[in-house]
Structure 1
Amino acid sequence: MDTDDLTPAERRVREAFVTGAHLDFRPSPDDDPADGAAWGPERTVRAEVLRALLLDGPRRTGEIPALNLAGARITGRLDLQYATVDHPVRLRHCHFAEAPRCYAARLRELNLSESVLPGLVAHAVHVDGVLRMTRARFTGTVRLGGAQISGSLYMESATIDAGDTEEPVLQLNPTAVGADLWAPGLRTHGQIRLNGANVAGTLNLNDALLDHPGHAALDAETLSVGGHLLLRQAEVRGWVGLRGARVEGRLDLSYARLANPGGHALRVASSSIGELWLRKSPPMEGVLNLRRAQLDTLLLEPEVVPDEVLLSDLTYTSLTPHEPPERRLPMLERDRHGYVPHAYEQLTAAYRRIGDDHAARLVQLAKQRRHRGTLPWYGRLWGHVQDATVGYGFRPLRAAGWLLSLLAVGSAVYALHPPQPLKAGEAPPFSPVFYTLDLLLPVISFGQESSFAPTGWYQALAYVLVLGGWILATTVVAGVTRTVSRP
């Protein structure tokens, strides 16, 4: 482009480009680029001039060209589609009249921090360094689908509000970031799509506000994160979807507020996560879906658990903090699918790993009681008998109490009213205690029951003692077998 065709402001940009010098049009550091539409020609630069500089700008021996501009009003569309730009592009505190287009471009570095833009079209862009959009404000969609960023993507305190649109306002699927995706304080009004994205380092969304009520606020199916996925103190209006995601470090939702009434609040189904932290937060508003998730550590405070959960085939190695079963069991009872045996087995195993066998037995007892509700009437009746007598084998002292009570009753009654011998002169001396034991214990025989025959009401008592003995013996053996067979 001929220099005669350039405005004074554009000539200044051209001169600064040759040496890579920083050119700042702002009259003061607090100048707001949101007011850029009213800026005059003294700080207005045409996008076609910037494009010409980046693709075929002047060079000077011993100098490294760079576009390093701040506080400019950029008119027209900065179109770098399919271009290869070897110079750093830094357009900070600028006001863009149209959304830049970098589709399939290859850039050394792109910095749009503190700028105001009506959007960004950068599908399949390759950035050999870092892409910075710190505190940038977008009034349209940001499209980075399929982008390849060798360094980090910075979006601290950026704002994206595209108005009423059905498409994602921030498209990062399936973007590959070679280091971190750093976006604490991000504000989005619409969906963030990270399906299939790969972040080699940490994905930081601490203090973010993700607003898309009734819909996906963060849709990140099959996302892969090599470090941590941080959502500490974030507020999410809508659901967070991490189905099939893989997070090597921790998924940290400490102090976060997740609200999607009437739908899912957090979907972590079929995911693989090192540590899942759900702590210091108000109860989720919506369903917590952990089906088929595989976790090394689940840090879950009972207060965070919503009214509905999905826990089928959830596996975890450790569960913290240590809470009594009375605090953990209500979560298992809130499963939308009703009785889920696997959930009780996982909780039992977690208690056994830390040596809390008493808590493990209480969980197993709760499991049997919950299972009882799924049986036909006769199964429920038998379950109530086992529960009342020996607590399904998990409360053996209760069985001892019942046996001693029956032994005392039988011994007292038959001591006052001894039964008649079947064969006079051949029967051994009568013992009310051992006679009662003969009736109660179905296997052991002391020779008393076969030698004496009670009549009337005392014979009915004998039948009650025999039946009670069989019930107690059966339930104790079932409980002991069940306990011994546990790993």
Structure 2
Amino acid sequence: MEITDLTPAERRVWEAFPRGDGVDFREHPEDSSVDGAGWGPERTVRAEVLRALLLGAGRAEEGRVAGLKIKGARIVGSLDLRYAVVDHAIRLRDCWFERKPLMYGAQLKALVLGYSTLPGLTAATVRVDVVLRLSCCRITGPVRLQGAKLSALFLQGAVIGPTAGEESDEPPLQLNHVEVGTDIIANDLTVHGQLRLNGATVGGQVSLDRARLLAPGGIALHAETLTVGTDLRAHRMEAHGMVNLTGSRIPGQLNFAYAVFVNPDGVALRASSCAIGEMWLRNCPPVQGLVNLRRSQFDLLHVPAATWPEKIRIDGLSYRTLAPHLPAQERLPALEREESGYLPYAYEQLAGAYRTAGDEAAARTVQLAKLRRHRRTLPRHGRAWGLLQDVTVGYGFRPLRAAGWLLALLLVGSVAYGLHAPRPLKAGEAPDFNAVFYTIDLMLPIIGFGQESAYAPAGWYQWLSYLLIVTGWVLATTTAAGVSRSLQRQ
């Protein structure tokens, strides 16, 4: 391409390229690329001119670093850099693109398209050595970056996806299997459709603070087997549709503080089979939809009781610490919401978390709730025996309750037999009658004070003695069972 074939606008770009100088076509700094379709020839540059410069037509001046640096241009035609090796930085800020750039398989130094408006971007398997920046872009078509290898990716403030009333047959933002050396920064990102991160590997963090992922009834964030070097932050994120993190590996924080999850007719949050350091759902409103945390492992799980939805799946979930620290009575209702029914393991996990926090009383409350829940699964005779243990000694977790029952029975027997002493079996040979020790002899046959064998009650006092003997044995048996269970736990 000869310089004589260029328009005045293109000649400015051509002459600035060897020096790496910028060309600013904007009439005002606040010009928006959204209006670029109406810009005139004084701001129009053909994509083939840019391609020619990047592929060797423009050479750096001595002592200068050549590069493409344009602001506020209307770029017509297709910027086709498929399989190209470009050694110059590409910075096309505030530009309007007539057609989507094609960069499949390209090797680039840096690509900056911030604040630009594009109908899409095809750059699967692209390699960018320094940075790929799409900050504050408005991209109406799909962004295809599958398998890309990037040093860093910036998407903050970008709006990606079809405009209102339009539909797309593929996810608007495709980052599946990308390899990012440092971070993905996507604060304030808006995606009208699915953000796909399946199989991606990020050396640093993924930041989705205040992002809006809008895929009602579908999958808003598809990030199965995502691997992150440090944290995934999503403060105040708003997700309409399922957030799917199945099989992800996040050694630091998965931080959903103040986030909103809305998928009332399906799964709102799926983080099953994950290995995560800390998961935070602090100050989140109640999740609208099902939460699935099956088979995941957390060091810290920070979930307020009010955040859990009506249905959860927590089979195989393990965690070391549960926060915030709440009374056991506030945590237990969530275990009743398990979709598959009674899970003994879930109660053991909760009790273990309380023991880790040093709250043995709460741990015992959880264990008692577990046995009560288990009782509902037993046949009728098993439920009766369990109810008896619960009422008498609280399955061994309430030992003072047994002492209360024994004291009450001792008081009843002592008063009854004190008012009407039983007759001695052998007159003149019986020891002096003592109503208290006589009652103890009846209730605890393993202890003998010589009273029961020396006296024989009659009438309803005899029936009272039978009652004391039976209840004494029951209390002794249930107390022994409870003590044995406590020793086994320890």
TM-score by length of 2: 0.96
Q: Secondary structure at the match of 1:351?
A: helix
* Residue 70, structure 1, aligned to residue 39, structure 2: no
Aligned residue number for residue 85 of structure 1: 86
Aligned residue number for residue 123 of structure 1: 124
Comparing 332-341 and 227-236, the one that deviates more:
332-341
Give the drift of 1:115: 0.4
Give the drift of 1:422: 4.3
Deviation string 1:390-412 (CA, Å, 9 cap, x unpaired) is 11111111111100111111222
Aligned residue number for residue 435 of structure 1: 438
- What residue identity is the alignment partner of 2:91? R
Give the drift of 1:465: 1.2
Q: CA RMSD in A?
A: 1.5
Aligned residue number for residue 113 of structure 1: 114
Give the Cα–Cα distance (whole angstroms) in 2 for the partners of residues 435 and 118 of structure 1. 96
Match among 169, 172, 183 for residue 175 of structure 2: 172
What are the residue-to-residue correspondences of 1:125-164 with 2, within 5 Å? 125-150=126-151, 152-162=152-162, 163-164=166-167
What are the residue-to-residue correspondences of 1:72-471 with 2, within 5 Å? 72-150=73-151, 152-162=152-162, 163-424=166-427, 426-471=429-474
Give the Cα–Cα distance (whole angstroms) in 2 for the partners of residues 66 and 402 of structure 1. 89
Give the Cα–Cα distance (whole angstroms) in 1 for the partners of residues 339 and 359 of structure 2. 28
Give the drift of 1:313: 1.6
Give the Cα–Cα distance (whole angstroms) in 1 for the partners of residues 149 and 427 of structure 2. 102
Deviation string 1:149-172 (CA, Å, 9 cap, x unpaired) is 12x100010001234124211111
Give the Cα–Cα distance (whole angstroms) in 2 for the partners of residues 467 and 120 of structure 1. 83
- What residue identity is the alignment partner of 1:24? D
Match among 471, 482, 485 for residue 482 of structure 1: 485
Q: Secondary structure at the match of 1:366?
A: helix
Deviation string 1:217-261 (CA, Å, 9 cap, x unpaired) is 001111111111111111111111111111111111111111110
Give the drift of 1:442: 4.2
Give the drift of 1:484: 2.2
- What residue identity is the alignment partner of 1:56? G
- What residue identity is the alignment partner of 2:207? N
Q: Secondary structure at the match of 1:218?
A: strand
Give the Cα–Cα distance (whole angstroms) in 2 for the partners of residues 456 and 302 of structure 1. 57
Q: Secondary structure at the match of 1:135?
A: coil
Paired residues, number: 486
- What residue identity is the alignment partner of 1:379? G
- What residue identity is the alignment partner of 1:344? Y
Q: Secondary structure at the match of 2:221?
A: strand
Gaps of 5+ in 1: none
Give the drift of 1:5: 2.0
Comparing 442-451 and 168-177, the one that deviates more:
442-451
Deviation string 1:451-471 (CA, Å, 9 cap, x unpaired) is 433344223222211221122
Aligned residue number for residue 5 of structure 2: 5
Give the Cα–Cα distance (whole angstroms) in 1 for the partners of residues 314 and 58 of structure 2. 63
Aligned residue number for residue 28 of structure 1: 28
- What residue identity is the alignment partner of 2:174? Q
Give the drift of 1:106: 0.7
Gaps of 5+ in 2: none
Give the Cα–Cα distance (whole angstroms) in 2 for the partners of residues 175 and 194 of structure 1. 8
Deviation string 1:357-403 (CA, Å, 9 cap, x unpaired) is 11111111111111111111112112221111111111111111100
Give the Cα–Cα distance (whole angstroms) in 1 for the partners of residues 424 and 57 of structure 2. 122
Give the Cα–Cα distance (whole angstroms) in 1 for the partners of residues 65 and 445 of structure 2. 98
Give the drift of 1:280: 1.3
- What residue identity is the alignment partner of 1:430? F
Give the Cα–Cα distance (whole angstroms) in 1 for the partners of residues 90 and 445 of structure 2. 90
Give the drift of 1:289: 1.5
Give the Cα–Cα distance (whole angstroms) in 2 for the partners of residues 154 and 225 of structure 1. 16
Give the drift of 1:42: 1.4
Give the Cα–Cα distance (whole angstroms) in 2 for the partners of residues 439 and 166 of structure 1. 82
TM-score by length of 1: 0.96
Give the Cα–Cα distance (whole angstroms) in 1 for the partners of residues 218 and 454 of structure 2. 79
Deviation string 1:14-66 (CA, Å, 9 cap, x unpaired) is 11111111111111111121121121111111111111111112213322210
Give the drift of 1:423: 4.8
- What residue identity is the alignment partner of 1:149? L
Give the Cα–Cα distance (whole angstroms) in 1 for the partners of residues 462 and 170 of structure 2. 82
Deviation string 1:293-330 (CA, Å, 9 cap, x unpaired) is 11111112122222222222211111222111122112
Give the drift of 1:421: 4.1
- What residue identity is the alignment partner of 1:58? G
Aligned residue number for residue 39 of structure 1: 39
* Residue 472, structure 1, aligned to residue 475, structure 2: yes
Q: Secondary structure at the match of 1:84?
A: coil
Give the drift of 1:125: 0.7
